[in-house]
Structure 1
Amino acid sequence: MTTAGARLRQTRAGAAGYAALCALIVLALAGGVGLALRQPWLFPSLGPTVMLFFESPETPSSRPRNAIVGHGVGLIVGAGCLYALGLAGQPSAPEGGLTAAHAVAAALSVALTTLALTLLRMPHPPAGATTMIVSLGILSQPPQLLAMAGAIVLVTLAGWGINRLLLGRA
């Protein structure tokens, strides 16, 4: 038995509409929570995550577990590189200008995140953006990191739920 969502995704226009509408719903939800809590529940790496969820839900990178683990590793590694290179409390790269320490932190955080996710066999490329957001100091304060973690969980659960409901699978 085919679900209505699966039938809709059989044409290019239907698949595009499905992906666009679902992305709009999930990111609007995260944005609404962010507005209510006055915290950054919307940040750049969520965009590619929801695109993966709804454009190619069958790929390993789109698995909910991969998204949660991928972004979680990115958050931890990004914060580790930020602190290890003495950038905590310093202006972010966009605010104060890119420094050598920022460049090292960003490159190292992506390399380590890639290493960890590859070893775990849990690919989720948007996690590379998450780790850079943190290691460049764009979002790096503990409340911001908690908001990012909350948004990742919310977006992943909402994406999984929508795909499960409309496609019959996550």
Structure 2
Amino acid sequence: MTDLLQKMRGDAAPLPAPHPVKNILLAGLGGFIAIAVLAGLADSLETVLIMGSFGASCVLVFGFPDAPFSQPRNVVAGHCISTLTGLVFLMFFGPVWWSVALAVCVAIMLMMASRTVHPPAGSNPVIVFLLQPGWDYLVFPTFTGALLLVLVALLYNNLSRSASYPKYW
């Protein structure tokens, strides 16, 4: 028990270095532009293109675009795998507590096995269980919104930084 408590105290490592103000401003602007594009298109097309988890995706693709979790395949496939998993568990087992927990569990494992881990997508099964949408939720907003988010990230990150985005497909 004392070993567990000792581990919970942490390693006393120093905080990460602060981010340069320019990077902070560019990341915030990128998130604004991406969500504005999705919201504006959704409004004009009268369809749903935004999920709550897309806000967290913006943190990664604009704040940490070089991270493996931020690469396009991770964003699109991670969101689709997790939403599909949530829909399958909802449809087959219903909106019960153990089903949503199992859906999150399976979504994590599938993303890890397919090398498409995108942490914000881990919330998609929970979102599915809260909204209880139909199968079309996989296309609108999940796939279409994630794809548009990546397209904005491709343009914005390559215009605003000297490094290229993505690191891999």
TM-score, reference length from structure 1: 0.79
Q: Decide which of 99, 103, 106 is 1:105's aligned counterpart.
A: 99
Q: Decide which of 64, 76, 86 is 1:78's aligned counterpart.
A: 86
- Structure exhibiting the larger radius of gyration computed from Cα positions: 2
Partner of 2:67: 59
CA contact (8 A) 1:46 1:126 kept: yes
1:57 counterpart SS class: coil
TM-score, reference length from structure 2: 0.79
Partner of 2:33: 25
Structure 1, unpaired ranges of 5+:
1-9, 88-100
Q: Decide which of 129, 139, 142 is 1:146's aligned counterpart.
A: 139
Q: Decide which of 94, 107, 112 is 1:118's aligned counterpart.
A: 112
CA contact (8 A) 2:90 2:132 kept: no
Alpha-carbon deviation of 1:39?
Answer: 2.1
1:123 counterpart SS class: coil
Q: Show the 5 A alignment for 1:130-169.
A: 130-134=124-128, 136-138=129-131, 140-148=133-141, 149-167=143-161, 168-169=163-164
Partner of 2:56: 48
Measured on the aligned residues, the alpha-carbon RMSD in Å equals: 1.8
Alpha-carbon deviation of 1:160?
Answer: 2.0
More RCO (CA 8 Å, sep 6+):
1
Aligned length: 146
- In structure 2, what is the Cα distance between the partners aligned to 1:48 and 1:42? 12
- In structure 2, what is the Cα distance between the partners aligned to 1:112 and 1:126? 15
Partner of 2:12: none
Distance 1:73 1:35, change over 3 A: same
Structure 2, unpaired ranges of 5+:
1-17
